[in-house]
Every structure is written in structure tokens, then in C-alpha cells.
């Protein structure tokens, strides 16, 4: 896998075990060092939010979105909003990697979280700089529907020293 210097292979798992970060326990030194190093790498990334799709789609019609990733990124969560309660179905592709995130169109409550409750991916997806992230959005409402699809990503924080 092509990697940019300073981007950890998978920065998420060490951060997920927050309850294990208990200073009152006497962890083996070598274990702590390993964890500290991993957490240091997570701290060297910055979260940011980016629009994957933003548009108004007519009744029971479809649209496609396409963005070009400007920086080497780990996609870790998805969130979406739909003006109409009927919602929408979506499919996301990385055509450069010949990767489909879904084989079929998935309704937004099954795949996409909300701003308050983001849908965290079990496996963060590494998206290389210059890759295109395409989306296919199907409005399920029988009226016009304003739809936004937002991703939460991690990218290197150039302000921090990475050892």
C-alpha cells in the first residue's frame, strides 16, 4: 500500500481502547511504550470534515457526486442529512482503486449516520491524494429532496513533529 510519510497504517484501533488507558494500573513498560508511540501517531493527524455529495434531487430521481481528494486521508466516518423523511439510497465508489464500498444501493439509515451520531467505519478507508470519490445518490422521496453526505477524515497534521 502506498503511504505518505507520517500517516500510520491504521491510526484508529489504538484510539478505540480508551478505557484501557488507566494510569493507576502498572502496565509493562514495553507495552506502554508501544501504546504511547501509537497514540502519538494518532495525535499527529487532524480530523476534518468534507462534503461527498451536496445537492437537491427531484422526486424519485438520481444524481452523481464526484470529489477529488486533495490530501492523503483516512476516511473514518460517514454522516448524512435528508430533507425528506423518505430519505435516499447511496453507493460510494473509488474508481481509481476499482473499489465499491457497496455492491448495491443502500438506504441512508442503514449506512450513513447523522451529524449527532456519525456512522464509524469498522475498517477506516485509506484514500490516496488525487483519488476520486464518487457517489451515486437515489432520492427515495416522491418530492424534491435536499441531500448532503459528509465524510470525517484524518490527515497528517503538518504542525506536529512526527518521529
The residue (of 47 and 58) whose beta carbon lies closer to other proteins is: 58
Pick one of 103, 117, 122, 159: the residue that binds other proteins (CB under 8 A).
103
**Sign for the pseudo-dihedral over CA of 68, 162, 43, 36:** positive
144 binds other proteins (CB under 8 A): no
The least CB distance from residue 89 to other proteins, in Å, is: 5
Query: What is the rounded CA–CA span in Å between residue 80 and residue 113?
Result: 6
Pick one of 69, 89, 127, 150: the residue that binds other proteins (CB under 8 A).
89
Per the CB < 8 A criterion, the answer to whether 44 and 154 are in contact is: no
Query: What is the rounded CA–CA span in Å between residue 80 and residue 115?
Result: 7
The least CB distance from residue 63 to other proteins, in Å, is: 8
Pairing of strands 45-57, 106-107: unpaired
13 binds other proteins (CB under 8 A): no
Q: 109 to 138, contacts with other proteins by CB under 8 A? A: 136, 138
Amino acid at each position: 500500500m502506498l503511504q505518505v510519510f507520517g500517516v500510520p497504517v491504521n491510526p484508529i484501533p489504538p484510539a478505540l481502547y480508551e478505557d484501557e488507558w488507566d494510569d493507576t494500573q502498572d502496565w509493562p513498560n514495553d507495552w506502554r511504550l508501544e501504546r504511547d508511540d501509537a497514540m502519538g501517531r494518532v495525535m499527529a493527524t487532524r480530523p476534518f470534515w468534507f462534503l461527498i455529495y451536496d445537492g437537491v434531487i427531484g422526486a424519485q430521481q438520481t444524481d452523481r457526486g464526484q470529489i477529488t481528494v486533495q490530501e492523503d486521508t483516512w476516511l473514518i466516518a460517514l454522516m448524512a442529512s435528508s430533507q425528506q423523511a423518505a430519505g435516499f439510497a447511496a453507493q460510494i465508489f473509488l474508481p481509481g482503486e476499482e473499489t465499491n464500498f457497496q455492491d448495491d444501493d443502500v438506504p441512508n439509515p442503514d449506512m450513513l449516520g447523522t451529524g449527532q451520531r456519525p456512522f464509524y467505519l469498522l475498517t477506516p478507508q485509506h484514500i490516496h491524494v488525487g483519488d476520486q470519490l464518487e457517489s451515486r445518490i437515489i432520492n427515495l422521496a416522491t418530492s424534491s429532496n435536499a441531500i448532503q453526505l459528509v465524510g470525517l477524515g484524518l490527515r497528517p497534521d503538518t504542525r506536529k513533529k512526527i518521529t
